[in-house]
Structure 1
Amino acid sequence: MASSRMILLTTLCSLLIMSTFIDSTHSASCCLWYTSRPLKCSRLLGYTIQTINTSCDINAVIFHVKGRFLCADPSSSHTQKLMRCFDEKRKSKQVQKDKIPITSAST
């Protein structure tokens, strides 16, 4: 009986330690501040939106550029302009990709 209690206690402690570790590693991937560096739309590879949750303390737009990620203030007009620019660029590429070339059949 004491043996099974010890196993249960050990399992619960292990789970608690693992969940603490997982939460702390997740928070390391959060934006903690905004970049002041101006970005060009042509350098953007994409973006994701971070919202405040249990691990992240600020809302942010995470711009993906070659080799790194930059955090920007989502309420900034420059950030919103970059997001629109990227979305338009992505739409334009999708439209070009969806176009089917018309070929004439020779008779």
Structure 2
Amino acid sequence: MASGKFILISLCSVLLLSQLIVPAHSWSCCLSYTKRQLPCKRLLAYSLQTINQNCDINAVIFHMTNGRFVCADPLSSQTRRGMQCVDQRQQQEAKIMA
């Protein structure tokens, strides 16, 4: 009887932990887009988030000079300008380093 209680408690613990771990992953996903215009000089880099990565929306994640991350709509012309700005700066830096 004691081993039955142990198995039941273990199973409940595993279920509880699995419920806590899954939502923790969604904290690293963008849930909405910024409406602010992002100044080119404050953009360091960007990364792409896709729905295939268990996130709810596609997004461009801008890495800012202040250490923050800002989520932007990948279909927005403002977002594409920000990405071009970062790409051009990285190309210029690569030429200087070569």
Query: Normalising by the residue count of structure 1, what TM-score does the alignment of the two structures yield?
Result: 0.75
Q: Quote the sequence identity (%).
A: 51
Q: CA deviation at 1:8?
A: 3.1
Letter in 1 for 2:55: C
Q: Which amino acid aligns with 2:87?
A: D
Unaligned runs of 5+ in 2: none
Which shifted more, 7-16 or 81-90? 7-16
The answer to whether the Cα contact below 8 Å between 1:23 and 1:55 also exists between their aligned partners in 2 is: no
Aligned residues: 97
Structure 1 partner of 2:16:
17
Instruction: After superposition, give the CA deviation of every residue in 1:24-43 in whole Å (9 maximum; x if it has no partner).
Output: 12212221111110012211
Aligned to 1:105: none
In 2, the alpha carbon distance for the partners of 1:95 and 1:8 equals 62
> Where does residue 83 of structure 2 map in the other structure?
83
54-63 vs 69-78, which deviates more? 54-63
Q: State the shift of 1:53 in Å.
A: 4.3
Match in the other structure for 2:33: 34
Going by fraction, where is helix more abundant, 1 or 2? Answer: 2
Report the aligned-residue RMSD. 2.0
> What amino acid is aligned across from residue 80 of structure 1 in structure 2?
R
Contact kept in structure 2, 1:47 and 1:64, CA below 8 Å: yes
Amino acid of the structure 1 residue aligned with 2:70: L
What does residue 92 of structure 2 align with? 92
Instruction: Give unmatched runs, 5+ long, in structure 1.
Output: 100-107
With normalisation by structure 2, the TM-score equals 0.81
Aligned to 2:47: 48
